[in-house]
Amino acid sequence: MSEFELRAITPGETYELRRALLRPHQRVHEMTWAGDDAPDTLHIGGFREDRLVGIGTAHRQPMPGLSEPQAWRIRGVAVDHGHRGYGLGEMLLRRLLEHAAASGGRLVWANATAASYGFFEHYGFARRGDPFELPEVGPHYVVYAGL
């Protein structure tokens, strides 16, 4: 398989993969999330042979229950099924963490699905609190890491 290339993308370019991989019960026009259009938000795309096969977003957002003003949320990290296991998820996450740190972030957090919790844990994220259920999406954990 060929190498991946990371490029900044627009919020709209994330919508198809967000829906297909993360929220199949919703319509594409429902894929706009709070913070998508903030000037310092980063949407990153992972491309293979000029085809978008992975996405991720980082934007400023306080972590629930904490008062850290320099918190960044990692959202929508997803890799198309046929392209998993080749390191693209790590590449996306590392680029999002670099962006948050370069923008003054001191803490990053995410709502990790039960299936993705191990991925975040592998990269130094810790779990905070009990699992919670997102309707039609399933169980999640709040995970966080210092920068």
Task: State residue 135's pLDDT score.
Answer: 82
Task: State residue 136's pLDDT score.
Answer: 77
Identify the CATH assignment for 4-146 out of 3.40.630.30, 3.40.50.620, 1.20.1050.10, 3.30.930.10: 3.40.630.30
Task: State residue 120's pLDDT score.
Answer: 97
Asked if residue 71 lies in contact with residue 60, where contact means CB atoms within 8 angstroms, the answer is yes
Domain residue extents for the chain: 4-146
Task: State residue 134's pLDDT score.
Answer: 82
Q: What are phi and psi of 112, to 5 degrees?
A: -95, 135
pLDDT tens per residue, range 99-138: 999 999 999 999 999 889 999 999 999 999 999 988 878 8
Question: pTM for the complete prediction?
Answer: 0.94
Asked if residue 100 lies in contact with residue 56, where contact means CB atoms within 8 angstroms, the answer is no
Task: State residue 93's pLDDT score.
Answer: 98
Asked if residue 45 lies in contact with residue 13, where contact means CB atoms within 8 angstroms, the answer is yes
**Proportion of the chain above pLDDT 70, given as a percent:** 99
Q: Give the dihedral sign, CA 19/95/92/51.
A: positive
Q: Compute the average pLDDT of residues 16-39.
A: 93
Alpha-carbon distance values, 82 to 1, 78, 102, 138 (Å):
11, 12, 32, 23
Task: State residue 2's pLDDT score.
Answer: 61
